[in-house]
Copies of this chain bind each other. A is one copy, B any other.
Amino acid sequence: MKYSTIYPKTKKEDPKSISSPGTKLLIRGGFIEQISSGLWVMSTLGLLVRKNIEKIIRKEMNTSGAVEFEFPILQPKELWEESGRWSKYIEAGIAFKLKDRKNLEYFLAPTAEEVVTNFAKKNLRSYRDLPLNIWQINTKFRDEIRPRQGLIRSREFLMKDAYSFNESEESLSNTYSIMEKTYNNIFKKIGLNFIKVDADSGSIGGNNSSEFMGLTDVGEDTLIYCPKCNYGANQEKATVYFPEYPEEELCNLIELETPNIKTVEELCNFTKLPANKMIKTIILEVDGYPVIVSLRGDLEISEIKLANLLGATNIKNATPEIVEKVTKAPVGFAGPVGLYNKTDVKYFFDISAKGIKNFLCGGNKKDYHYINVNFGRDFLEPETFYDLSKAVTGEICSNCKEEKLNSFQGIEVGHIFQLGQVYSKPMNAKFIDNTGNEEFFYMGCYGIGVSRIVQTIAEQYYDKNGVIWPVSIAPFEIIVLPANNKYHLEDSFEIYKNLISLGFKVIIDDTDTRIGEKFANAELLGIPVQVVVGKSWQENKSLEIRWRNRTCFAQNIFSIEKENSLPSCKIEFYQLKDILEKIFAK
């Protein structure tokens, strides 16, 4: 391809009001262009990258035995009403909705469980038809509250979605493992730096679910990770091991005057006690009702864990009025003493609090806290403690119970779910099992954010001069650069054509610019190999080849001549094929 026909052209300056490095460099390289909030044009080069990703996905999905389909983007309301999700999605306001000329309503596919389950219900009759894993790559839509970060949180995007239909939990679990392996292969082949973590199932429903997270500082998800046993989970889902608190003599309960001192931080300063010697007590409003949660002072409540525990959809902090009504004190002085087991309001203790001795907590009285509080003695010890706090770095891994947890920021690029029968039951989707009885399908669903991966890679592989595409998904493998169009354009085109006929994917920068600009351009484009055709070609048929990535390449082929230059070497044309095949590991 000729670079002269590529638009948008690369931009020298960073776009304004764009924060993430990946978004900036995708725009500067001309890979994407915004037309409206959360709506992006995939330009020629961006589309080539995405199609390479699609190709890898297609190959691995087909190898896994899944079968490709394409379901409509317009999804009739009636199917969403069968599953019971129409009103849920309307309430959440996250789906685009429209009416046709007959006033019938549709969602613009936010996901496709309903449509695919409906297909399975009509076409899969017997256990002999199972398992079947139906997949597609198709456009999806989300009416995001705040579209941001380019392709990461756009309103229209490409997804790979798959839906498996199984005859039993065991079969489902088997398909789930196959998908887990398939996803590992896909992300490895793409070249993504990723980890797999336990995840919350969210609005999709079901039990077991894992997320595949592309690791990058700009990722909006916090991932908790154990460097020893590889346990990983989304912070909202991650569990922590709290070792038993050491034995301690129980001290006398003291009521302490704490004038206008309310927060944990203020209490630490005032009392010189550490936050993990305190219990903080929070009053929330859960689906309209007050709920009390006590947890260790240095931890934060996980609203998602609480929502899952209570099957709730809407959680917020209670108003000062409600706090006062529940605790008889203003905000900042709640605590279990005199409150736990003494109120009709639901009250939960986080496991972080279990067994803690001589702790500080609120006095349920303005400007007073207690110190040296103890379970059993000062208030009834709860029978059950719940996991309601956000996992944080430094806590002990719940899996190996040995290592301290670490954390990363990540972007969700894949998500796999064991749905069980949460869709097949309401949609009455059944098959005849091997005993002749009707049974609801066991289902799994498996998503990959295809367009999102383009950008996740850009957030992972770049330097100050541009994106650095992994060879696996680069729009082109080689860019041919004539040192001076006046003298070298013809030769360059010849080499360009020869490289194409050798089977390489090649672009030539045929624009009428100086070699310095061509180098800068080639760096912004992030093409792995640059082939420079200049004087040495005319003199002794020798070419300079340069490797785009300064840091991670075998130095036994390339060397760095000057400090700021790229790793490069000079070779003759007959050597070109061998060297290129070697560096592309073809």
Residues in A lying within 8 Å of B, measured CB to CB: 5-9, 33, 35-36, 39-44, 47, 65, 67-74, 76, 79, 93, 96-98, 100-101, 108, 115, 118-119, 122-124, 129, 132, 139, 141, 143, 145, 155-156
State the Cβ distance, A91 to closest chain B Cβ, in Å. Answer: 13
A42–B8 CA distance with the chains assembled, in angstroms: 34
A409–B528 CA distance with the chains assembled, in angstroms: 53
Residue of B nearest to A70 (CB): B42
State the Cβ distance, A252 to closest chain B Cβ, in Å. Answer: 57
Select one of B8, B40, B115 contacting A72, CB under 8 A: B40
Contact B100 A35 (CB under 8 A): no
Contact A69 B42 (CB under 8 A): yes
Known: A41-B72, A74-B156, A96-B98. 4 other contacts (CB 8 A): A7-B67, A7-B124, A36-B74, A44-B69
Number of copies of this kind of chain in the complex:
2
* Across-interface contacts of A69 in B (CB, < 8 A): 41-44, 47
A108–B156 CA distance with the chains assembled, in angstroms: 12
Residue of B nearest to A124 (CB): B7
A195–B155 CA distance with the chains assembled, in angstroms: 41
Select one of B5, B41, B43, B123 contacting A8, CB under 8 A: B123
Select one of B7, B73, B145 contacting A101, CB under 8 A: B145
Contact A123 B76 (CB under 8 A): no
A132–B43 CA distance with the chains assembled, in angstroms: 13
Contact B39 A74 (CB under 8 A): yes
Residue of B nearest to A118 (CB): B35
A124–B6 CA distance with the chains assembled, in angstroms: 11
State the Cβ distance, A103 to closest chain B Cβ, in Å. Answer: 11
A129–B8 CA distance with the chains assembled, in angstroms: 11
**A-B complex: 9 closest residue pairs judged by Cβ atoms:** A42-B70, A98-B98, A39-B72, A7-B123, A36-B76, A8-B123, A44-B67, A101-B143, A72-B156
Given contacts A33-B119, A41-B69, A119-B33, A143 and B7 within 8 Å (CB-CB): no
A132–B33 CA distance with the chains assembled, in angstroms: 17
State the Cβ distance, A119 to closest chain B Cβ, in Å. Answer: 6
* Across-interface contacts of A93 in B (CB, < 8 A): 101
* Across-interface contacts of A43 in B (CB, < 8 A): 69
Select one of B7, B35, B73 contacting A156, CB under 8 A: B73
Given contacts A44-B67, A69-B44, A118-B35, A74 and B141 within 8 Å (CB-CB): yes
A69–B8 CA distance with the chains assembled, in angstroms: 11
Can you name 14 A-B residue pairings with CB atoms under 8 Å?
A: A5-B65, A5-B132, A7-B123, A7-B132, A33-B123, A35-B72, A35-B76, A36-B72, A41-B69, A41-B71, A41-B72, A47-B69, A47-B70, A101-B143
* Across-interface contacts of A129 in B (CB, < 8 A): 7
State the Cβ distance, A115 to closest chain B Cβ, in Å. Answer: 6
* Across-interface contacts of A42 in B (CB, < 8 A): 69-70
Select one of B8, B44, B108 contacting A98, CB under 8 A: B108
